[in-house]
Amino acid sequence: MKLTLNPVFRDHLRTEISDIKLYVQNWLKRHPQGDIYVGCDSKVRGSRVKYSTVVCLWDVGNGVSEIYKNEVTPAPPDSYTRLWNEVTRAVDTAEYLKELGRITVHVDINSNPKFRSHQLYDASIGLITSLGFEGAGKPFSWAASCGAHRHCQ
């Protein structure tokens, strides 16, 4: 995996999106009842990790459009740091889009205490809600566990 500098968002055709705020704003004009979801997932490969951040635009009853960006960085020292990096990437994207409307941030962290990732659940949902967003973890975080997951493989 090659390190990625200055990643950009792309649509399903891999077309580069120069201004995601304008892209989402235009989508919302065409779909005024649409909802915005943001999520991130990652995949470790050797000494590098690939983060995929998605903005899922759900037109209720008609499906989801999504844009995504991929970043490749040196792998962090542990899985908790990697998971927290997923949270902060999703939150940073949501913060950038905040003025456009209600946003739900999905994290790839399990709400079930039986899973190791649960140790970060309260902190991540707390961060998300303290910034004014709705938050969801597994098993309800489809933007992260399905949308972003597909792009980081």
> 6-35, pLDDT tens digit by residue?
679 999 999 999 999 999 999 999 999 999
Higher-pLDDT residue of 111, 20: 20
Instruction: Give 64's Cβ-side CA count (13 Å radius).
Output: 16
1 has pLDDT over 80: no
Residues 143 and 54: their CA atoms lie apart, in Å, by 7
What share of the chain in percent tops pLDDT 70? Answer: 96
Residue 10: burial class (beta carbons within 10 Å; 0-12, 13-18, 19+): middle
3.30.420, 3.10.620, 2.50.20, 3.30.450: CATH of 9-152:
3.30.420
Helix axes 20-30, 79-97, angle to 10 degrees: 60
Residues 112 and 121: their CA atoms lie apart, in Å, by 9
36 has pLDDT over 70: yes
